[in-house]
Structure 1
């Protein structure tokens, strides 16, 4: 159980970590990596969990549920009258990799197109000095899931970063931990940014919490996902969070 307060939104709780540094300290207790699931809580994921039992169960079983979306921060402020610190998943992942270098923790990379996965592995190995113990792109058939999980287990990774997109990554991480206890973090489209395939939103937009808007404008394929954001906004306005 976390020592930090938790705040409920639509039946799911978000942990109120004081800041990113404190979260990392909990993960690297005594220099060892604490096994568990790290899930970035945002509006889209909370709404999707209402109709996806597997996603909801994965979230409920996660040890580290941090507020990634500005909409979640604002919703907690309205419903519970507290100021929640936002911890962005992309920045947290970079900090986690930097700490993994210090601690010598083995990292497994899963996700992205083959060329994206290869470039992320190259950067982490040769530019960031991360101890990458395995890597695999995210375009594998459902029939290969068990093989992928065995590959992760055999790598002995202490940290497994999964960029399969939600809800696929959350469900995969929850299932894989049964075979190989480790720290799992879902990183969404972070691999695309790190590889240079996609540009991240300008810092000014990130500070204002508008990174989601930039993503939709720069990647119109994401537009279909805006419906969940609208539904969350309706919950907010009608005080049904």
Structure 2
């Protein structure tokens, strides 16, 4: 049964009030019913990009669900007197859906990452989730106008399409192509293929529990400092929103 979620508006982006367990079960139900769904797992960087870019905002507006990928979004909701139960990250949701797809023998299509990383991702899925059917895959470097990828997805009819092209390409690609497909759960998952392949190490659970996963990643990849500036900018925007409400 499809559940209707309440939503929290954060800088124009409608986040669903949900948990990882609820959202994964909802998406599995969509897949079983042969319905379409578009999921955006949005962190502060995505919210700001949608706030500042009308074309990207139109892509986000086509999403069936937007979940809070990052504690910054959860804290931002609190600043304006709203509540999101927990963060529902792209990687966690990806792994939960793979686990459930493995149990049910469901199928997936993988789009994204480099030519070198994608085979490693596929190998990990085949090892950890042997009952998941991979209907096809393509690395993230392709001609946007080439119909080969959507044609393959349309022909093979996977239950889930995981798109790891990064912001803003993954959401724009899904929004542009979704109407071509009869069914399927489409989700942008950023660098999740790299993490599953072992190319990028996720923060240890200690850092995740104290909500400093972003800081751990910055320590490991100082080149991310430019992207990390989205966090204070997002915080300032949310403080401004709280001031408006008062």
Pairwise same-fold verdict (TM > 0.5): yes
2:78 corresponds in structure 1 to 77
For residues 185-241 of structure 1, give each alpha carbon's deviation from its aligned partner in whole angstroms, at most 9, with x where no partner exists: 111011111111111111111112211222222223322212322211111333368
Please state how far the C-alpha of 1:48 moved relative to its aligned partner.
0.6
1:142 corresponds in structure 2 to 144
For residues 97-125 of structure 1, give each alpha carbon's deviation from its aligned partner in whole angstroms, at most 9, with x where no partner exists: 11111222210011111121001111212
TM-score of the superposed pair, with normalisation by structure 2: 0.90
- Shift in CA distance, 155/206, structure 1 to aligned 2, threshold 3 Å: same
Please state how far the C-alpha of 1:69 moved relative to its aligned partner.
1.2
Please state how far the C-alpha of 1:2 moved relative to its aligned partner.
5.9
- 3-state SS, counterpart of residue 122 of structure 1: helix
Runs of 4+ in 1 over 6 A off after TM superposition: none
Please state how far the C-alpha of 1:33 moved relative to its aligned partner.
5.1
1:9 corresponds in structure 2 to 10
TM-score of the superposed pair, with normalisation by structure 1: 0.91
Question: What is the Cα-based RMSD across aligned positions, in Å?
Answer: 1.9
1:222 corresponds in structure 2 to 224
1:202 corresponds in structure 2 to 204
Count of residues in correspondence between the two structures: 239
Please state how far the C-alpha of 1:56 moved relative to its aligned partner.
0.9
1:26 corresponds in structure 2 to 26
For residues 110-166 of structure 1, give each alpha carbon's deviation from its aligned partner in whole angstroms, at most 9, with x where no partner exists: 11111210011112123311211101111113343x222222222211100000001
- 3-state SS, counterpart of residue 106 of structure 2: coil
Structure 1, unaligned runs of 5 or more:
none
Structure 2, unaligned runs of 5 or more:
none
> Residue 40 of structure 2 contacts residue 60 of structure 2 at CA under 8 Å; is this kept in 1?
yes
> Residue 159 of structure 1 contacts residue 183 of structure 1 at CA under 8 Å; is this kept in 2?
yes
> Residue 163 of structure 1 contacts residue 169 of structure 1 at CA under 8 Å; is this kept in 2?
yes
CA distance in 2, matches of 1:9, 1:37: 19
Q: Which moved more, 1:219-228 or 1:40-49?
A: 219-228
